[in-house]
Structure 1
Amino acid sequence: MTENSLYVLAALFSLVFLSEWLCKHTFLKHISSSLLVIILGAIFANTGAIPSASNASLVYDVVFKYVAPASIFFLLLGVNLKQLRKAGLPMLMAFLLGAIGTMIGVVSSLQLIDYRIVFGENYAAIAGMMTGTYVGGSANFNAVALHYEVFKEGAIFTGVVVADNIITAIWMIVTLSIPVFMQKLRPHKSKVSSGNHLEEADREVESVGPMSLALMLVIGIATLLISDFIANRANDFGFSIPSILILTTIALLLGQLRVIQKQVGAKLLGMFSVYLFLAVVGAYCEIGALIDVGAYALDILLFTIVIVLIHGAFLLICGLFMKSDWSIIAVASQANIGGASTALALAKSVKRNDLILPAILVGSLGSGLGTYLGFLVAGLLGA
């Protein structure tokens, strides 16, 4: 039965449903859906409910080759570069400084572990993945991982994802305390806008019809074909351009068109595709492989912790010199580390409605910028 492609596909869909339901209705709501779907995928694979990495299904190949890149494309369609000016110069500056702090942290943290043994030949790619995810979110992490095929190293990939989720959750608590603690330590004036941006910021639910869904799927498939074609043609002329980078660029360009901005369904397709991809990543995580990576678990955790600590320290020091609003510093940092959704949650938590829309906008900027910086760091380190 597990060799039947329809059965495998139905099982993967079930994993996505189950992870979402558990996160909304049980004590597991404190675990992110992305981490939970990986765990469930691993459980199903190791109990024989779905194929594991050693007996991979054709469905897995399709998910890796087409669904995962499509998820990145759909999520990036929501990046409206023209609206970034609404974020304001202080927020943009803080966000970009945070990205620089992340890059410094990634390179520095590698020196604290024996990265060639812990990560093997994938060390540069993993450094790029961590750069991407801590500049603007998991879409960038997946983009770099897909190009360098790090997902095939199921245990290492999952180990990094687990460490990332743990530190991201802890960092949310840290950034919540930054405005209060730093304002007492080094008081800075803040200019709180009376404007309410909740209407646009809270527009998170999409009402999707067949026409919009069909259009988004057609555009997504066409972009995948075009990206592969351009990458192959460039390779014929001696240029090595990752197709995922071409796809990212096309998505950002399309996202600026009004006709695309009016369409709905991209966010829904993007999130569902991400969960489907992560379920397959979990299936690649066999017990034997997890045991093998266990010896390096502390190294992976240390690597991740130091990245975020250096990012935070760098951004706080810059905030001291620039006398920045500490709430802006906290939200910008969260946009780097957790992405737009956690930055939005933080802005709401510190009761700064004026920062809700800027949080989403710089988070969107990170979704586009993170992939480029991820590939830059990976390339500089020798990937």
Structure 2
Amino acid sequence: MIENDAVVLGILTLILGAVFLTASLESRGWKRFYSIIPPLLLCYFIPGLLNSFGIVDGAGSQLYPVVSKYFLPACLVFFTIGMDWKSLARLGPKALIAMLAGTAGIMIGGPLALWIVGSISPATVAGQGNNEVWRGLATIAGSWIGGGANQTALREVFQPSDMLFSQMVAVDVLVAELWMAVLIYGAGIAARIDRLLGADSSIVEDVKMHLDTENQINERVPKVPDYIMMAAVGFGATGISHALAEVITPFLASNYPELEKYSLTSNFFWVISIATLIGIALSVTPARKLEHAGASKLGSVFLYVLIATIGMQMDLGAVADNPGLFAIGLIWISVHGIILILVCKWLKIPFFFLAVGSQANVGGSASASVVAAAFHPSLAPVGVLLAILGYAIGTYGGYLTALLMQMVSNMAGFQM
């Protein structure tokens, strides 16, 4: 067992490097491999294997507490600082409607799936304390509305056990990747689907031309001052968030103790919420230009380090302990898809916005850009733009979804 965290961090970053290197190779074998096994899954599960076989001690390591405390808030700032409100407006209301319909589908689908599976198999959703299943599902809600950073934030807020969280990561990744495969297949027959939806996709071409021009004008090679400013903004906002949370949390705990049941006395909830608000506020200032130098890319680096440290705490043997949880995930994503299809059929929204809006919720910026690029490479930024909005609302939407699932669990007695 390796106990030195410096060594463990080195191993984790080498794993990330190996995954991204092999995923970028043009070899037919590697391309075939990654068409079946997504890179994100390996970033979770290879560190999980190290923990499961006793090579590292995920529970005893201090890497995750450090990374979640410092990298996570900065990561959220980097993702939200690049919100391009003008470009979002040019997408038109249909793009935002599709994205928000997907969000509504997640918020409705989670409690509904929990109730359906719990009614059929109460043992699947039973649990007490940190093993209450709704606590683990709360982390999926954060992931499927926003992304990995929002998932981690809600994990800190609702505190599911490590075993429960391991199971939820498996449900999250496998169900989400299955759904993405369906959407990518749909991209190949988008014209046929648009006819079924009665949608006009000419707006997609207009957006593509605009984004091509924007990228050519604004993108630049980052210099040292850019990286210094990113560090100042990201970690400065992190420091402000922690400072304000240390004032807000004791005040609420002392004066409004009844708010504890809504997790509003959680220090980390306020850290994440304040950091997200700071990022949104900075997106309407000149600080937004840091995105042109790669702020969201730096945020992605932080996020993957965070993902690796999360994976290091996984006990993969726990995944097989409660396979019924996958039924919750499949019902949940089905409700999300049905609501999206109904809304897009009603409003004649092109399949492109349905697919990208869905992945902006379920998959985050990486998956949303992959799905968008399946339509046309220059449309990948559309996925990023909508995913950034997902990051901005992910913690809040996931938090509300978690409260609804807690309510369903309490009313049905699933916590017994």
Query: What's the TM-score, normalizing by structure 1?
Result: 0.85
- 3-state SS of the aligned residue for 2:126? helix
1:259 aligns with 2:287: yes
**CA pair 368-21 structure 1, distance change in 2 beyond 3 A:** same
- Name which of 275, 279, 286 aligns with 2:304: 275
Would the aligned equivalents of 2:82 and 2:290 in 1 still touch at CA under 8 Å?
no
- Name which of 173, 176, 181 aligns with 1:173: 181
- Name which of 238, 245, 254 aligns with 1:224: 238
Instruction: Using the TM superposition, name which of 357-366 and 246-255 deviates more.
Output: 357-366
CA separation in 1, counterparts of 2:301 and 2:344? 37
Would the aligned equivalents of 1:97 and 1:315 in 2 still touch at CA under 8 Å?
yes
Shift of 1:373: 0.6
* Aligned twin of 2:400: 376
Residues 43-91 of structure 1 show CA distances to partners (whole Å, capped at 9, x for unaligned) of 22344443332xx123343123222333233222222334321221111
Q: Counterparts of 1:146-185 in structure 2 under 5 Å?
A: 146-150=156-160, 153-176=161-184, 177=186, 179-180=190-191, 182-183=193-194, 185=196
- Name which of 12, 34, 44 aligns with 2:40: 34
**CA pair 48-337 structure 1, distance change in 2 beyond 3 A:** closer
1:21 corresponds to which letter in structure 2?
L
Unaligned runs of 5+ in 1: none
Shift of 1:368: 0.7
* Aligned twin of 1:245: 273
CA separation in 2, counterparts of 1:38 and 1:352? 27
Q: Counterparts of 1:1-383 in structure 2 under 5 Å?
A: 2-25=2-25, 26=30, 27-30=32-35, 31-53=37-59, 56-111=60-115, 112-113=117-118, 114=122, 116-117=125-126, 121-150=131-160, 153-176=161-184, 177=186, 179-180=190-191, 182-183=193-194, 185-192=196-203, 193-194=205-206, 196=209, 197-200=211-214, 207-238=221-252, 240=265, 242-262=270-290, 264-286=293-315, 290-297=316-323, 299-351=324-376, 356-382=380-406
**CA pair 171-271 structure 1, distance change in 2 beyond 3 A:** same
**CA pair 370-52 structure 1, distance change in 2 beyond 3 A:** closer
Would the aligned equivalents of 2:133 and 2:164 in 1 still touch at CA under 8 Å?
no
- 3-state SS of the aligned residue for 1:57? coil
Residues 220-274 of structure 1 show CA distances to partners (whole Å, capped at 9, x for unaligned) of 2222221112112112322636221111111211232213424634223322222
What count of residue pairs does the alignment treat as equivalent?
374
Alignment RMSD: 3.0
1:296 corresponds to which letter in structure 2?
N
**CA pair 34-326 structure 1, distance change in 2 beyond 3 A:** closer
CA separation in 2, counterparts of 1:201 and 1:352? 13
Query: What's the TM-score, normalizing by structure 2?
Result: 0.79
Residues 284-316 of structure 1 show CA distances to partners (whole Å, capped at 9, x for unaligned) of 123xxx33441212x221111111110111111
